[in-house]
Amino acid sequence: YGLRPALTAATTAFLIYNFLFLQPRYSFSIGSPTDVLTLVVFWGVALLTGALAGRVREQARRTQRRAVAVSALLGASQALAGADDRQATARVLAEQASEAAAAQTVVLLPQGQDLAIVAGAPEPPDLGASAMAAARWAWDHGEAAGHGTGTLPQTPWTFRPLQGVRGRSGVAGIAAGALAPGSDEERLTLALLDQGAVALERAEFATQAVEAEALRRADRFRAVLMNSVSHDLRTPLSTVLGSATTLIDYGEGLTPAVRADLLLSIREEAERLNRYVGDLLDMTRLEGGALKVRAEWTDVRDILNASIERVSRRLGQRAMVRDFPADLSLVRVDEGLLEQALVNVLENAIAYSPDGSTIEVAAYEDRNAVVISVEDEGQGIPTEELERVFDKFRRSEASSEQTKGVGLGLAIARGFVEAMDGRIAAASPIHAGTNGEKPGTRILISLPKAIVTHKDLL
């Protein structure tokens, strides 16, 4: 394509035409002035077609380069959008810029009072003192520095500031001589760097938002915790202090029945206080990520029996019914965590069900999991509160003296169950509510099996 190939083709065609068809034949001699005109016409057509063909070809090349650039920018945008944090974003940016420039690249981000190499492609390079000085200058002044600039041009890198919407988010370096000024590669690389700067800024904002939300939740947790400590922990302490003071000051004049009642109050309130402190410590472990799961092959019926035994003294006039199958698959769980989760669920069922009611504890299995069910005949949970029943410090609006607590029991149960890859859910109402029957609540805990059971074996 182009003028020169067109002129060559036109001249060749004229010579062949003259050699084969014009007199004298088989000779390159021009026998007539009109033959000269034919040659001029050939060349004129060649000039026109060559110019048009060259223009079309150049436009096609530009369109192709534009499509490649748009495709590269789109791919880079998708890759940058999928990065989770600043480090991941910097790695993606370094890889994309290296591919666009066909050269080594490096990304530096601010850490404290200095810049640090976070990513590089194909590999993070070791920058010398002059290169780091150029990078710091680009960061401080917001202008390019290094090779091909007026600042430290002897540096084997060209550093450009990554300017986001609200400020600089870092510095990118490209190996010296990789990009020709004004070339398509330079324009594409600069567009990628601009896109990466915005992505880094967005990642920083996302990190700040997560940290702010964590601080907000921590402040709320501390506020509710202090309120709980000042109220829920003070009540049993006051009862213990009052009963103990009465026994010390007036013990000799009290009847045996009164002394026994005061001692029983001390024990009950001390146990309640111990549960409160245990709940707070368990929630601290969950919130702080200090929970360690030691999974072992376990028969959940043994853990259910142990959990029921632990809460048996608090049953009062309620009946506890067990419905366990003769055979049940083993599951890998942490026995201590599962037992504490079940104790919390059982205590919640006891607290919200009236005397004379029945609490049913059942276990069964399907193909994928072993399921534990705890049903009570209490007042139930309003449908709009079912999703929030496992939230921290969540207590029923109908809480009474019997249901006092810090509101962490079910939240801890969910945390322990989910730490063992299980699931926990609440359902209410579960009874028709006729003949004065209360709606009741069912708590389901699903523990996954290591191997799915064949349907014919169930």
Q: Give the chain's mean pLDDT.
A: 83
Which pTM was predicted? 0.52
Q: How many CA atoms lie within 13 A of 140 on its CB side?
A: 10
Q: Which tokens is 375 given?
A: 């049903």
Q: Using DSSP, state whether 295 is helix, strand or coil.
A: coil
pLDDT in tens, 210-243: 888 878 877 776 676 666 566 667 777 888 899 9
pLDDT attached to residue 224: 62
Distances, alpha carbon 439 to alpha carbons 92, 319, 354, 380, 436, in Å: 55, 17, 12, 5, 9
- pLDDT for res 2: 60
Residues 148-168: what's their mean pLDDT?
A: 92
Residue 198 phi, psi dihedral angles, 5° rounding: -65, -40
Lowest mean pLDDT among 35-39, 52-56, 187-191: 35-39
Higher-pLDDT residue of 127 and 18 is: 127
Q: What is the CATH number of domain 88-209?
A: 3.30.450.40
Q: Which residue intervals of 289-408 are DSSP H helices?
A: 300-311, 335-351
pLDDT of 20 strictly over 50 = yes
Contact 378, 357 (CB under 8 A): yes
Strand, coil or helix: 145: strand
Q: What average pLDDT does this structure show over 139-144?
A: 94
Q: Is pLDDT at 1 greater than 60 in this prediction?
A: no
Superfamily of segment(s) 291-457 = Histidine kinase-like ATPase, C-terminal domain (3.30.565.10)
CA dist., res. 67 & res. 55, Å (int): 18
- Please name the residue that has the structure tokens 């037992």: 339
Q: Which residue has the higher pLDDT, 435 or 382?
A: 382
pLDDT value at position 214?
Answer: 76
Q: With both helix axes pointing from N to C terminus, report the angle between 335-351 and 409-419 in degrees, rounded to the nearest 10.
A: 150
For 428-452, how does the pLDDT look when each residue is reduced to its tens digit (9 = 90+)? 888 765 555 678 899 999 999 988 8
pLDDT number for residue 66: 72
pLDDT(287) > 50 = yes
Judged by average pLDDT, the poorest of 53-57, 208-212, 362-366 is 53-57
Give the residue-averaged pLDDT of 177-198. Answer: 87
For the domain bounded by 232-290, which CATH number is listed?
1.10.287.130
Question: What's the confidence (pLDDT) of residue 163?
Answer: 92
Ordered by start, the domain boundaries in the chain are: 3-77, 88-209, 232-290, 291-457
> In which band, very low, low, confident or very high, does the pLDDT at 401 lie, cut at 50, 70 and 90?
very low
Mean pLDDT computed over 75-100: 85
Instruction: Tell me whether the omega of the peptide bond preceding residue 236 falls within 30 degrees of 0, making it cis.
Output: no
Render pLDDT for 341-362 as a digit per residue (tens, 0 to 9): 999 899 889 988 888 999 999 9
pLDDT at 435: 59
Tell me which of 161-175, 214-228, 243-257, 284-298 is least confident.
Answer: 214-228
Q: What pLDDT is stored for residue 251 in this prediction?
A: 83
What are the tokens at 122?
Answer: 């194909």
- pLDDT score recorded for residue 379: 84
224/18: higher pLDDT: 18
What's the whole-number mean pLDDT along residues 260-266? 90
The pLDDT of residue 227 is: 65
Q: What is the mean pLDDT of residues 368-392?
A: 86
Asked if 122 and 104 touch (Cβ cutoff 8 Å), the reply is yes
**Better pLDDT: 25 or 363:** 363
* Omega within 30 of 0 (cis) for the link into 429: yes
